[in-house]
Each structure stands twice: as structure tokens, then as C-alpha cells.
Amino acid sequence: MAKRPAFSNLMKEIRTGKFIFTGELEPTKMYDLSSVIHSAEEMKKTGKIVAANVTDGPQGDAYTCSMVPSYLVQEKVGLEAVWQMTVRDRNRIALFGDVVGGAILGLKNILTLTGDHTALGDNKNARPVYDLDSTQFIELVSKIIDEGTDLEGKEIEGGKIEMNIGCAANPNALPPYLEPEILKVGRKVEAGVDFIQTQTAFDIDEAKVFLKELEKYNVAVLLGLFPLKNYGIAWYFDKYIPGVSVPKDLLGELKTAKKMEDKKARNAKIDQINIDFFEPFIKEIKKTTKAAGIHCMAVHYERLFGPLLKDF
């Protein structure tokens, strides 16, 4: 398909060829969104974050919907949102309605996701929907944007919807799972994605192999990195997140830092551990790959953005 116009600031920045950064916000089970707004403000202050993802019920938990905080982050903070949306909770009717609703609110980026199964979440009796898979969801959003219709070809009245579409990819897929993952991403590209944001990577050699494989699709890729705010988060990631293995040296350093009694000194040590690990990682990705940038998932850890990204 022909390249879709850059409707969002994110896509405009990507197409300048600059190495860019996106962040991540996570509305949890909350009515008061002030903490989300504050996190977005801290990201914007750095001058480094082009846009911030807003998650949609990660790990299958019943959290505040992603559409409203996406809108508020743009309106109150002036930071563009990447609105995450899963097919787990909605059939094609609800997906269509929400996409059009988000467009009315001025959302310009949508990240199309399958969504973690409800069995993983905090409402385990919930029934997942999965009427469409994530590739079919991309096809739906593409028809809304490019043709002005729903999946059945029924026309949307009142004007043209302008959005850019993203999808996820797993850089931790090793042979024999690497080829199927690359093919799956290829189907999503064919369905109409404009950019890709990957899940978190810790192994730079594996990440570089994955990025090289994706070059054939000629689509902007932002590699996902997850700075670790404390040892507990690192341990959880290593033990429970499928396909993710936190380097043992990194785990060990964070475990040692955990024992420091002075909170200020402990936080400073943890920050330095993350900077020492991720700064050369980012520099290597920027220097040796065609990645468009980094998706930095430092949720509730915005203080790291300034020192980590100051040289980029």
C-alpha cells in the first residue's frame, strides 16, 4: 500500500530521520488522573519525549480506559499520546466506535494490540472477546482512515479521520520462534501500520538481529527498553514476563542497591545502575541499526529520563 501521510507529530518526527524517544503512561484502577498528568508533565519537561503511550489494561487488569487519559494528556500537558487499544475487550462494533470516538477527541496515534488474556488479570472471571485479531484490527483502522468506512464498507459521515497506526513486536523471539514473529509483523505491515514499537529488550545482540530482520518492511521501528526502578520490578520481570530475561549482573546490582538504608542514596544508586546499562545500549542501537528510536517504558520513573537521555 502507499505510504500514509504523517498525520501525527510522532510520524512527522520519525520522517525527519531524527532518532526519537517515546515514553509510557499507565492509568491503573483510578478516578483521579493527576498522577498520570504529572508523569506526562515530567516527560514533556525533558524536551526529549515526542509522544507517550497510554496503556490499555496491561496484564489483563481492569484499569481506567486509555482513551480519556490519552485525551487529557494532549489537552492539559501538550504531549502527544499514543493511544493503546486491545482487541481483548471489544468486538468489531466497539472497536469501530472507540476508534471514531478517539479521532473526534483529536487522538492521532493508535497502537493496535491483542492484549494480555483476562486469565492473567485481576478479574479472572471476565470473558475475553478477541472477535478480531490484532492484524484484523489494523485492517479495520486502515479502512476507517483510508476509505472512510467500517469493515463492511459502510461509510462514515462528516469528514476524514486522520490517524497513524502502530503495532507491537517481540524482539525476544529466538529461533525457531523468530521467523514466525517476523512473518506476523509482516502481515501487520501489509495491513497498514505506520510504525512499530517493540516489547522490552535487554539483550542487545538479540535486539540487533531482530531489528535487522525488520528492515525488509521499511517501517519505522522503536525498540522497547524498560528501565528498572527497583529490584522487585526487575525480579518480577525476570520471573513472570514471558520471553524476558533480565541480565543476572543487572539483577545482582539492583539487589545490592536494595539493601541501602538511605532512600536518597539508594535511588541515586539505582538511577546510576540504569544509566550505566541503558545509555550504552541506546548509543549502540542508534549507531549500528536503522531503528527510528527508543520506546522507553519508564513507568512511574520519569526522573530517569533527564539524566539518561541528556546526551541524545
25 φ, ψ to 5°?
A: -120, 145
Residues in the chain: 312
Residue 268: all three cell numbers together: 541515586
Residue 271: all three cell numbers together: 538511577
Give the pLDDT confidence score for residue 311 in this predicted structure: 92
Pick from 176-190, 231-245, 259-273, 286-300: least confident? 231-245
pTM: 0.96
145 by DSSP, 3-state: which?
A: helix
> Over pLDDT 70: what percentage of the chain?
99
CA 172 to chain centre: 15
Give the number of other CB atoms < 10 A from CB of residue 256: 12
The three-point CA angle 239-243-249 to 5° equals 60
- pLDDT at residue 304 tops 80: yes
Kindly state the DSSP code that residue 44 receives in the 8-state scheme.
H
- pLDDT at residue 300 tops 60: yes
In this structure, what is the dihedral angle of CA atoms 146, 212, 250, 113, given to the nearest 10 degrees? 20
Averaged pLDDT of the chain: 96
Domains of the chain are 9-309 (3.20.20.220)
The three-state (H, E, C) secondary structure of 208-277, written as one string = HHHHHHHHHHCCEEEEEECCCCCHHHHHHHHHHCCCCCCCHHHHHHHHHHHCCCCHHHHHHHHHHHHHHH
Give the number of other CB atoms < 10 A from CB of residue 157: 5
Q: What's the Cα-to-Cα distance from 103 to each of 96, 236, 281, rounded to whole Å?
A: 11, 36, 36
CB-based contacts of 262, cutoff 8 Å, min separation 6: none
- pLDDT at residue 194 tops 80: yes
What span, in angstroms and rounded, lies between the C-alpha atoms of 12 and 3? 13
Q: Could you tell me the pLDDT band of residue 154, with boundaries at 50, 70 and 90?
A: very high
Q: pLDDT tens-digit profile of 231-244?
A: 999 999 888 887 78
201 by DSSP, 3-state: which?
A: coil
Q: pLDDT tens-digit profile of 25-55?
A: 999 999 999 999 999 999 999 999 999 999 9
Q: What number is the average pLDDT over the span 281-291?
A: 98
Q: pLDDT tens-digit profile of 73-86?
A: 999 999 999 999 99
Burial class (CB in 10 A: 0-12, 13-18, 19+), 165: buried
Q: What number is the average pLDDT over the span 151-159?
A: 96
- pLDDT at residue 1 tops 60: no
4 by DSSP, 3-state: which?
A: coil
Burial class (CB in 10 A: 0-12, 13-18, 19+), 173: buried
Measuring CA to CA, which residue among 185, 276, 263 is closest to residue 230? 263
| Backbone CA torsion sign across 197, 199, 205, 206 | negative
